[in-house]
Amino acid sequence: MENVILYGSILVALLAFAFAFWLYLWVKRQPCENRKIIKATGLIRAGARTFLRKEYLVLARFAGVAAVLIFVFLPKPVWQGSPVHNIWMVAAYLCGTLFSAVAGKIGLEVATIANGRSAEAAKQGIKPSFMAGFRGGAVMGMAVVGASLLGVTIVYLLTRDPTTVLGFSFGASSLALFAKAGGGIFTKTADISADLVGKVELGIPEDDPRNPAVIADNVGDNVGDVAGMGADLFDSNVASMAAALVMAGVLGGNNVDMVFTFAALGLLASIIGVMTARIGKHGNPTRALNSSTYVTTAVYVVLTAAATYLLQFPWRIWGACIVGLAVGVIIGLTTDYFTDDSKKPVHFVAHASKSGPAFTILSGISYGLLSVLPAMIGIGVAALAAYKLCAPLATDPAETMQYALFGISMAAVGMLSIVGMIVSNDAYGPIVDNARGLAEMGELGDEVLEITDSLDSAGNTVKAVTKGFAIAAAGLTVIALLGAFMSEVNTAAAELGIAGITDFDVMNPMVFFGLLVGAAIPAVFSAMLMLGVDRNAQRMVAEIHRQFSEIVGLKEGKEGVEPEYDKCIEIATDGAIKELIPAGLMAILATFIVGFIGGVSAIGGFLCGNIVSGLLFALFMSNSGGLWDNGKKYVESGHEGGKGSDAHKAAVVGDTVGDPFKDTAGPSINTQITVVSLVASLMSTLFLTLHIF
Amino acid sequence: MENVILYGSILVALLAFAFAFWLYLWVKRQPCENRKIIKATGLIRAGARTFLRKEYLVLARFAGVAAVLIFVFLPKPVWQGSPVHNIWMVAAYLCGTLFSAVAGKIGLEVATIANGRSAEAAKQGIKPSFMAGFRGGAVMGMAVVGASLLGVTIVYLLTRDPTTVLGFSFGASSLALFAKAGGGIFTKTADISADLVGKVELGIPEDDPRNPAVIADNVGDNVGDVAGMGADLFDSNVASMAAALVMAGVLGGNNVDMVFTFAALGLLASIIGVMTARIGKHGNPTRALNSSTYVTTAVYVVLTAAATYLLQFPWRIWGACIVGLAVGVIIGLTTDYFTDDSKKPVHFVAHASKSGPAFTILSGISYGLLSVLPAMIGIGVAALAAYKLCAPLATDPAETMQYALFGISMAAVGMLSIVGMIVSNDAYGPIVDNARGLAEMGELGDEVLEITDSLDSAGNTVKAVTKGFAIAAAGLTVIALLGAFMSEVNTAAAELGIAGITDFDVMNPMVFFGLLVGAAIPAVFSAMLMLGVDRNAQRMVAEIHRQFSEIVGLKEGKEGVEPEYDKCIEIATDGAIKELIPAGLMAILATFIVGFIGGVSAIGGFLCGNIVSGLLFALFMSNSGGLWDNGKKYVESGHEGGKGSDAHKAAVVGDTVGDPFKDTAGPSINTQITVVSLVASLMSTLFLTLHIF
């Protein structure tokens, strides 16, 4: 049976790729004739490719070093264990980075084709424009989830060893860590600099082709929000499966089957969801995006119930999975409350802006801090419910904790089941954002701009929901990974014939020490990324100033005079590459240091502190950022004085602060906590045997 | 022996009061003749008294309700235990609030006398001005520490029951929670509003008597930074003793003697430190403040070593105590790095301000986030070292944890030993800040202003250090209180004949659930306080605008035309009173809800999450706030364009955001985590017997 299910999973993954290819061909068939748009999309595509090539080159070097270290040390030092096992680990690690990189590359290529198509299609109305944007994004969704399911299944099929799957997951995670951080720094460098000089200093519109940073800004949307975000969710998806497989491996029975079945059905449900996405001639794009998410969710519930019935999986675990999914949706909706421009927080921030930028900042930070509560409670309740549901499955008291942890990991799998749909919606955002810019550059007229504006605004709304969802999913996944870590430690201890661990007791000062240090890491990590954006943006602002003062006729928009777009792309690229490594490395090194000082107990506390504070900061930063963004848009739509008023200027300050919050630091923290959890699990043998105290 | 030490402690406390009285008489003897200053100090004193009276009235009502609830439920429901015990608990609780209130009142009265004296004395040079400010502040220091030692000793002498001391501590804490929050909201409402209308809109100098909010601003310094801060450190000091007494009570032997001896010696060392504070004729006030802190520290080390030798206390526990003290000083110094205007962070923020307020905010937030790392590591190391030092004292393995926790609580006592000196230095700040304002109002001339400016700036520098110190001390104290909570639970369980608890294992999902919710509370708490300031400041800005438009001749400074200062004081008072209750109540109610849902395991996690996230946010907010404040001052002193430049405007935005960070939310979190820890300990019997899951 197990083999049938594994081959079935591969089949579903291949189906997703086939579907993605069909979507790609469909997008490609759409007309794109405006010469200015063709030229601009060409520049954007070239810029994005350059960045990705440079970034992947750096990451390849990092992966090379990591591969050597993995070969020598993981899962056990090569002189202690079997080198074959270590070679498998290296292969799994490299596959993890490669699969993630390929999925990112596919998504990016299609996104930079779909953006121009979506812009041109807007001349025919909202329907074709929406479809071009959505289907372009769906290619990314299918590629990400297809590649993650394919990779995990192949690795498991070949090794039947969940620890090696952790290696694959670590590959995906380490790539995501740098892709998300690098893309996040690139996109916000360009965005902030373009706004600062263009909108604030010179008062020219957003996406004005005279602005030297405008192409870099569009490239940033693609490398940050398409490629980076795809790598992030690839990572979460793989990690949730890896954690579930570790627990399923301990329990035996048909639990491994269940993991693959439920993951494959999630992808199937997403394919169906994407296929049903439709919009009427005068339809509402937000409703179209949300309704296909709900279709996916409903299909998933039905399919998994049927599979549970047919394959005789325990209903309690199905319950845990559905609880995870439900809580994910609820958290998405509460996130929406804090960033929706028809709700109180946005109005409050917009109103506070009338008293100056300090009040924009204070009120945005305050509401951002408030917004963490429902999500934290939701994640806690989901974990608790999964535990209570699944613990009774144990026939032997020693198994209670293992079943409970398996339940939590399946809640994470459940939450992430609709990730194909989530990524599709998420990638739709930057495509239509680009389309808006291209419509402006291609001078397609106000009617078209109105359509692309409404598509763009739907993208922003949906993005807030999916971001809350992604953070919650990462939260449940890392709780499951904490269980996987303990399980890995005990397996290693049993092999070594030494005592394992039964708890991470916060009254143990070693655990508490780890907890305090672990909690500080996300704060330091996000600070380093934001300082990176800050430094990089200062370099880019200087370059824009230089161009405006040196290129004659640029400011006046003289026919034929063009800015040097590539210089800005180069600065954003080189700066991002330079700034992306230290923060990620710091998080990994801190794990090593704490582990080699305090051993596995300190690491248990470290992971726990890291998870809790990581969730806090990720939620706070993402939501504050989204709130300021929509607060600014709310003012721009004519409230509290409208465009050009003092309130607007203050709201722009809020938005600028929010940019690296929501698009650089906030979402990168997700990946940071996953990477650290995986490093800990993989290093468990070393931390168990080598530590100072 | 025990009685000798207890009576000795009372004697030292009375000595502190006598010394405070002598200092008060000395301050009072200093001349104050300038009529404008006399008038203004009169207004300030009256405003501060009004606020304190209103605040204490509200708190009396709260305390009344709490007393009834305590009588019915604590330490055990009155129908289960003995009513006598409950009556003692009520009495201890009320004494805790009363002692804290009286100490606050004493400090405030003297501070509002010393401010005018310090201003006038500046005409004679820096030396007498410094002494008036410092000795005025020292009254507060002596009153706070004397009252806390006296209260704890009397309660223990009468009951010999550490749980009842927890009741006293809870009284002190609940008063501090509201005094700190209320004072913090008052002071920042006034400060922000005065700056916003005065400096930013009208361009009149700080402390200009035409500004209707100027007296309210000075009142705010006293009620926030003197009375509020005193209540905060009273609370930490009492809580650290209470936690140590709970653990000492479990261990027996001469451990109780040790707690009182070390606390009394701390007060003695502070008295000596205050007496040695001297400044030369052209001396450096910062050096004078710091050197008396070092004197106190050295005296304390010597005195406790002598006591340990003479009274045969375990040297290992002395070691834990000294480690705590040393780490406290180190944390203070690292905090200083992030806020000192000769160091990189301040320069970076000042430079970033040239690119606009968004960069001021981003860089300040980034450095604030970075600054949490050394303190978190320091607290973790102190706890770990205390544990490792003291655990070997156990002769029976069951005692290991108890000795370890006693060691941690003594590290907290050690860190807080010099609190008399810390409070003195802290209260010096607002007094000389007031003196600066009074010198301006009394038109004492530029030479005097220069002296008061230098005293004020020393106050700000020292404040950053003492704030880091106070947060670290609260951190260690609440870790000890976590141990006290477990100990209380097990005592209650033994009495009830049911199973106690041996750990708070984060792998237990009930603990993890508590952890996630507990971690969200400081975020929500600080958000509520900041929104309170925001709302209140908006009301006050409207009032200032009204006065400037309705009072003829005010803006022009026409002779004899005065603003209605009392209206502004009234708004700040009423607003603060209205806003102070919800946030504190939320934290207490959240503890109840989590406890009655998940029982003691959930509470263990809740406290742990609350501590970790509370420390993170307290450090981040205090340090960011201090950094922005000094960044602004650095620009004002002529860097990056100096006063009036765009960089200055941006730096003012940073300072305004930082005000409620560092003076409202940040320091209130300290008290919030202590209150929650004490509530948990006191409710342990109830949480053990009544919970849903």
What angle separates helix B315-339 from helix B446-496, to the nearest 10 degrees? 140
Residues from chain B that touch A653, judged by Cβ atoms under 8 A, are 356-358, 361, 653
Minimal C-alpha gap between A21 and chain B (Å): 42
For the stretch A77-85, contacts whose Cβ atoms lie closer than 8 Å and that sit 24 or more positions apart, written own/partner, are: A77/A685, A77/A686, A85/A164
Transcribe B314-359 into DSSP letters: -HHHHHHHHHHHHHHHHHHHHHHHHH-TTSHHHHHHHHHGGG-HHH
Minimal C-alpha gap between A506 and chain B (Å): 6
CB neighbour list of residue B593: distance below 8 Å, 6 or more residues apart? none
Looking at mean pLDDT, say which of A195-199, A361-365, B637-641 comes out highest.
Answer: A361-365
Please compute the mean of the pLDDT values over residues A314-329 and round it to a whole number.
Answer: 92
Q: Among B418, B416, B386, which Cα is nearest to B403's?
A: B386
d(CA A418, CA A462): 14
Q: Computed from CA positions of residues A230, A232, A235, A239, in that sequence, does the dihedral angle turn out positive or negative?
A: negative
Residues from chain A that touch B361, judged by Cβ atoms under 8 A, are 361, 653, 657
Residue with tokens 């991470």: A504
Q: B373-391: per-residue pLDDT in tens?
A: 999 999 999 989 998 999 8
Say whether residue B628 is in contact with chain A using an 8 A CB cutoff: no
Q: Which of A334-338, A344-348, B520-524, B588-592 has the lowest mean pLDDT?
A: A334-338
Please compute the mean of the pLDDT values over residues B318-323 and round it to a whole number.
Answer: 94
Q: Quick one: pLDDT at residue A431?
A: 92
Residue B253 has pLDDT above 90, yes or no: no
- C-alpha angle A355-A357-A362 in degrees, rounded to nearest 5: 90
Give φ, ψ of A443 to 5 degrees: 50, 55
Q: Among B231, B143, B175, B182, which Cα is nearest to B51's?
A: B182
Q: Do A541 and B613 touch (CB under 8 A)?
A: no
For B:155-194, CB contacts with A below 8 A are: 192
Residues from chain B that touch A657, judged by Cβ atoms under 8 A, are 358, 361-362, 365
Q: A548-602: per-residue pLDDT in tens?
A: 889 888 888 888 888 898 889 889 888 888 888 899 899 999 999 999 999 999 9
By CB atoms closer than 10 A (0-12, 13-18, 19+), residue B52 is buried
Q: How far is the first Cα of chain A from the last one, in angstroms, to the nearest whole number? A: 47
Q: How confident is the model at residue B558 (pLDDT cuts 50, 70, 90)?
A: confident
Please compute the mean of the pLDDT values over residues B175-189 and round it to a whole number.
Answer: 89
Residue B1 has pLDDT above 80, yes or no: no
Q: Quick one: pLDDT at residue A577?
A: 85
Q: How confident is the model at residue B32 (pLDDT cuts 50, 70, 90)?
A: confident
Please compute the mean of the pLDDT values over residues B274-299 and round it to a whole number.
Answer: 87
Say whether residue B356 is in contact with chain A using an 8 A CB cutoff: yes
Q: B415-429: per-residue pLDDT in tens?
A: 888 889 888 988 998
d(CA B471, CA B612): 12
β partners of residue A505: B505
For B:515-574, CB contacts with A below 8 A are: 515-517, 519-520, 523-524, 526-528, 530-531, 533-534, 537-538, 541
Minimal C-alpha gap between B74 and chain A (Å): 25
CB neighbour list of residue A62: distance below 8 Å, 6 or more residues apart? A174, A178, A581
> With contact defined as beta carbons under 8 Å apart, do A145 and A20 qualify?
no
Q: Count of alpha carbons within 13 Å of B556, Cβ hemisphere only?
A: 7
Please compute the mean of the pLDDT values over residues B192-204 and round it to a whole number.
Answer: 82
Residue B464 has pLDDT above 80, yes or no: no
User: How many residues in total does chain A contain?
Assistant: 693
Token readout for A479 is 């709780």
> With contact defined as beta carbons under 8 Å apart, do A58 and A133 qualify?
no
Q: B451-461: per-residue pLDDT in tens?
A: 998 888 888 77
Residue A344 has pLDDT above 90, yes or no: yes
d(CA B95, CA B166): 12
For the stretch B637-646, contacts whose Cβ atoms lie closer than 8 Å and that sit 24 or more positions apart, written own/partner, are: B637/B341, B639/B347, B639/B350, B640/B350, B640/B351, B640/B353, B640/B354, B641/B354, B646/B353, B646/B354, B646/B356
Residue A200 has pLDDT above 80, yes or no: no
Residues from chain B that touch A196, judged by Cβ atoms under 8 A, are 355-356, 358
Residue B561 has pLDDT above 80, yes or no: yes
Longest C-alpha distance within chain A, in Å? 80
Omega of the bond leading into B162 within 30 degrees of 0 (cis) = no
Q: Which of A20-24, A156-160, B329-333, B581-585 has the lowest mean pLDDT?
A: B329-333
Please compute the mean of the pLDDT values over residues A323-332 and round it to a whole number.
Answer: 87
Q: Computed from CA positions of residues A353, A359, A362, A366, in that sequence, does the dihedral angle turn out positive or negative?
A: negative
Find the closest chain A residue to B611 by CA distance. Answer: A516
Minimal C-alpha gap between A687 and chain B (Å): 18
Secondary structure (H, E, C), A432-501: HHHHHHHHHHCCCCHHHHHHHHHHHHHHHHHHHHHHHHHHHHHHHHHHHHHHHHHHHHHHHHHHHCCCCC
Residue A494, Cα to own-chain centre: how many angstroms?
36
Residue B434 has pLDDT above 80, yes or no: yes
For A:286-315, CB contacts with B below 8 A are: none
Secondary structure (H, E, C), B380-427: HHHHHHHHHHHHHHCCCHHHHHHHHHHHHHHHHHHHHCCHHHHHHHHH
Residue B624 or residue B339, greater confidence: B624
Distances in Å between the alpha carbon of B421 and those of B22, B67, B292, B333, B462? 17, 33, 8, 16, 12
Please compute the mean of the pLDDT values over residues A351-362 and round it to a whole number.
Answer: 91
d(CA B86, CA B82): 7
User: In the A/B pair of chains, how many CB contacts fall below 8 A?
Assistant: 245
d(CA A543, CA B412): 53
> With contact defined as beta carbons under 8 Å apart, do B277 and B211 qualify?
no
Please compute the mean of the pLDDT values over residues A504-523 and round it to a whole number.
Answer: 93
Say whether residue B504 is in contact with chain A using an 8 A CB cutoff: yes
Q: Which of A74-83, A389-398, B481-490 has the lowest mean pLDDT?
A: A74-83
Q: Count of alpha carbons within 13 Å of A491, Cβ hemisphere only?
A: 20
Q: A19-37: per-residue pLDDT in tens?
A: 999 999 999 999 888 888 9
Residue A224 has pLDDT above 90, yes or no: no
Residue A336 has pLDDT above 90, yes or no: no
CB neighbour list of residue B657: distance below 8 Å, 6 or more residues apart? A358, A361, A362, A365, B361, B364, B628
Mean pLDDT (chain B, rounded):
90
